Chains A and B, each alone.
Chain A
Amino acid sequence: MVSDLKVLERRVATRYMEDGFWDMYLGLMALAFGLTILLDVSYLTGVMVAVGFALQRTGKSLVTFPRIGYIKLRQARKTGMVSILSGVLILGLMIFMLFMLGDDNPLRAFVIQNMLFFIAFIWGGAVALAALSLNVRRFYFYSLLIFSAVIFSDLVGSLGLNLALAGGLIILAGLVVMLRFIRKYPIVSDQD
């Protein structure tokens, strides 16, 4: 029965990923990073990420909650998600700290030499961890897409263009997921 309850908790949490808003938010982040690099406008990422977050919240409120209701996840599950995000942030911070070290540091030289791999690994890895934690399989595909977009930018296109394209594809996928969600779950009427 304990495992049944865990399965139920996971199923309920996963259902809230079926609306596609997190997909679109992830895609928007990738698009924002790509456009920032392409257009060389430093504030673009910040603006798009903030706007995307507001849109995501509004979308949940207008599309998701009237269809499948509103829930508050248990603190343990929230803590698990925060731990993953914190882990990724700490990893990113550690790499950033390497740049604060002296020029003659061999580790710093190694990171600079393999910068693309590190960006691809951290970003793709974070999305894969989200896929694992939230039990959403399509996020593995997004992880692979972002990883490939970054790692192959030396061979095909450029980092900015590849990230923008990957972001655009993820946004499109998110839109399809959202349309399927709307079709699958009609708005719950307040009358019997």
Chain B
Amino acid sequence: MPSQQEKLLAFSLDDIDRVIHSPARLLIMKLLYVLDGADMVFLKSETGLTWGNLSVQIRNLEDAGYVMVEKEFVDNKPHTVISLSREGRAAFSAYRDRLREILG
């Protein structure tokens, strides 16, 4: 029979957003949280991920509805700009709060 503390911990851990919880995606979400948008070069240089890995993680976040990938023109050059969606921003806030509760 699990103790009360174990039950609470199990509940808390189940409640953690697994999409954000991966280290690479957490780093991407954290960077995008403090910005209105960034391109792949910025995310690659900040995270140290390979292009392939970065693309996969961005696609996972996009599939979850947490990020938006848009083409923009910056000084007449096309740029792929990634930004957090409203859901992504809310999910990251909730993730931070949940983690803070667990860690105390």
Contacts and interface: CB of A to CB of B under 8 A. Distances in A.
Partners in one complex: yes
Interface of A: 1, 5-6, 8-9, 12, 57-58, 60-61, 65-75, 185, 188, 190-192
Q: Across chains A and B, which 3 residue pairs bring their CB atoms closest together, nearest first?
A: A69-B42, A69-B41, A9-B34
Contacts of A6: 34
A69 B39 contact: yes
Given A69-B43, A72-B81, A190 B36 contact: no
Contact of A72 (B38, B50, B75, B96): B38
**Which of B33, B40, B75, B100 is packed against the most chain A CB atoms within 10 Å?**
B75
Interface of B: 30-31, 33-46, 50-52, 74-75, 77, 79, 81, 83, 96, 100
Given A5-B30, A66-B41, A72 B36 contact: yes
A121 to B, nearest CB: 34
B49 to A, nearest CB: 10
Contacts, number: 72
17 contacts: A5-B33, A8-B34, A9-B34, A12-B31, A12-B46, A57-B75, A61-B75, A66-B41, A69-B40, A69-B44, A69-B45, A70-B39, A70-B42, A73-B36, A74-B35, A185-B45, A192-B50
Contact of B100 (A1, A57, A190): A1
A66 B81 CA distance: 14
Nearest to B79: A70
Given A61-B75, A66-B41, A12 B96 contact: no
A5 B77 CA distance: 30
A192 B52 contact: yes
Contact of A73 (B35, B45, B46, B51): B35
Given A5-B34, A188-B44, 20 more contacts: A1-B100, A8-B30, A12-B34, A12-B46, A60-B75, A65-B39, A65-B74, A67-B41, A69-B46, A70-B74, A71-B39, A71-B42, A72-B38, A72-B83, A73-B35, A74-B35, A74-B36, A190-B51, A191-B51, A192-B50
Given A1-B96, A61-B77, A70-B81, A8 B31 contact: yes
B35 A9 contact: yes
A191 B37 CA distance: 22
A185 B41 CA distance: 12
B38 A71 contact: yes
A49 B34 CA distance: 31
Nearest to B33: A5
A57 to B, nearest CB: 6
Contacts of B33: 5
B45 A12 contact: no
Contacts of B81: 70, 72
A49 to B, nearest CB: 19
